[in-house]
Amino acid sequence: MILQSVAIVFLKAHFLGYPKTIDDFRIMTDKKEITIYDIAEVLGLSPATVSRGLKDHPAINIKTRQRINDTAREMGYRSNSFASNLRKQKTNTIGIIVHELKSQFISSVLAGIEKVATEAGYHLIIAHSSETYRKEAANVHNLFHQRVDGLIASLAFDTTDMGHFEPFVQKGIPVVFFDRVEDFAYGTQVIIDNVKAGFEATAHLAAQGCRRIAHITASLSRNVYAGRLKGYKQALHDYGLHYDANLLFVNDLSEAAALKTARDILSMPTKPDGVFITNDFFAAVFQQAIKDGGLRVPEDIAIVSFNNDAISKIVQPKLTTIDYPGEEMGEKAAQSLIAQLEKKPAATTMDTIIVRSELIIRDSSIHRKV
């Protein structure tokens, strides 16, 4: 039916003397995709000349190139780079899977990826899992069938089975995992030393004189939170403090969870005098809730959080936090992937890249008893 309609259009064009102008083509083609043959017909040039002109080929006179490009723009021509790339077995597209989009950390990672990818001539397709394995697996499947050249991914809370990445393994398509990773015999990992960061956060509280230090974190099946818990426990041990399972709070780091955790701590007969929280937004909500409940920060309870998001510098007192350099992590992830795609000598599909983190000390943790 579509072929029949196209044939009728071109028969009309032949007998009526179409097309003479760009407007004729607009009438004739309606919603038909404009081709280089259409542009050539209007300009009285060969399709080969139009093709070269659209690619800015130096063999075509600069004025002719300008005329070709102006006409193409007026006619609404779109280059079919997808078909061209498929012929080359390359789409110049990188797929990205993140666990959420509303995080400042993820936004900064994406900024780093975009900066490096754009400079290297790659486009991005971004998908998010909404913290579910099911949606993550569907996104991985879709990006594979969209023929992305490579994939950058951060895992959802509940991802343990890595089978959905197997098609990439089988095709030798490079994958770089960042931040949230899993033991998997394929792909580069870009992470921070979460054990070290957890140790430094807890050790700082202990050095301030805190003796009952709580830890608020998320799913311990994820490497980032398991690592920070390990560092927390190591710091307690090194400072001669007892690990108390009642001071470990595991939740989804949402606003509702922050308010509930604050209520739980306020109701404790013996309250913690320090708390290490693995997320700045959660820490900001928690801090305000315990202040509303009558505790002073840092005099009654000192707080260290994680990420160094903008909110950590706005709340009062300002939050001591672990600086988690998202943009640098994104840049390193993109650099690693592109090096593998371009088969640079040092590129490898199995590597771990450690990005530096740093404790930023502010007023929320300077634990002065008054």
Q: What is the rounded distance in angstroms from the CA atom of residue 324 to the CA atom of residue 140? A: 26
Give residue 183's Cα distance to chain centre.
20
pLDDT given for residue 33 in this prediction: 79
CB atoms within 10 A of CB 287: 25
Residue 253 has pLDDT above 80, yes or no: yes
Look up residue 129 and give its two tokens: 């899992």
pLDDT given for residue 12 in this prediction: 44
DSSP state of 222: S
State pLDDT tens for residues 119-178: 999 999 999 999 999 999 999 999 999 999 999 999 998 999 999 999 999 999 999 999
Look up residue 148 and give its two tokens: 């992305």
Look up residue 356 and give its two tokens: 């530096």
CATH topology of domain 92-192+326-355: Rossmann fold (3.40.50)
pLDDT given for residue 149 in this prediction: 95
pLDDT given for residue 13 in this prediction: 45
pLDDT given for residue 31 in this prediction: 57
Query: Beta strands of the chain (E only): which ranges?
Result: 93-98, 123-128, 150-153, 175-178, 187-192, 213-217, 248-250, 274-277, 302-307, 320-323, 350-355, 358-360
Q: What is the rounded distance in angstroms from the CA atom of residue 359 to the CA atom of residue 172? A: 39
Q: Would the CATH topology of 2-79 be identical to that of 194-324+358-365?
A: no
Q: What is the rounded distance in angstroms from the CA atom of residue 79 to the CA atom of residue 257? A: 50
State pLDDT tens for residues 269-310: 999 999 999 999 999 999 999 999 999 999 999 999 999 999
Neighbour-count burial for 319-336, b at 16+ CB within 10 Å, e otherwise = bbbbbbbbbbbbbbbbbb
Contacts of 340 (CB under 8 A, 6+ apart): 150, 174, 188, 347, 348, 349
User: Residue ranges per domain, the chain?
Assistant: 2-79, 92-192+326-355, 194-324+358-365
Instruction: Give whole-number Cα distances, 98 to 3, 36, 155, in Å.
Output: 42, 39, 7
Residue 369 has pLDDT above 70, yes or no: no
pLDDT given for residue 11 in this prediction: 43
In this prediction, residue 76 has a pLDDT band, given cuts at 50, 70 and 90, of: confident
Report yes or no: 296 and 368 within 8 Å, Cβ to Cβ: no
Query: Beta strands of 17-118 (E only): which ranges?
Result: 93-98
State pLDDT tens for residues 84-111: 555 556 889 999 999 988 888 999 999 9
State pLDDT tens for residues 323-356: 989 999 999 999 999 999 998 766 666 689 999 9
CATH architecture classification, 2-79: Orthogonal Bundle (1.10)
In this prediction, residue 239 has a pLDDT band, given cuts at 50, 70 and 90, of: very high
Classify domain 194-324+358-365 at the CATH superfamily level: Response regulator (3.40.50.2300)
pLDDT given for residue 347 in this prediction: 60
pLDDT given for residue 353 in this prediction: 94
The answer to which of 32-41, 108-117, 218-227 has the lowest mean pLDDT is: 32-41
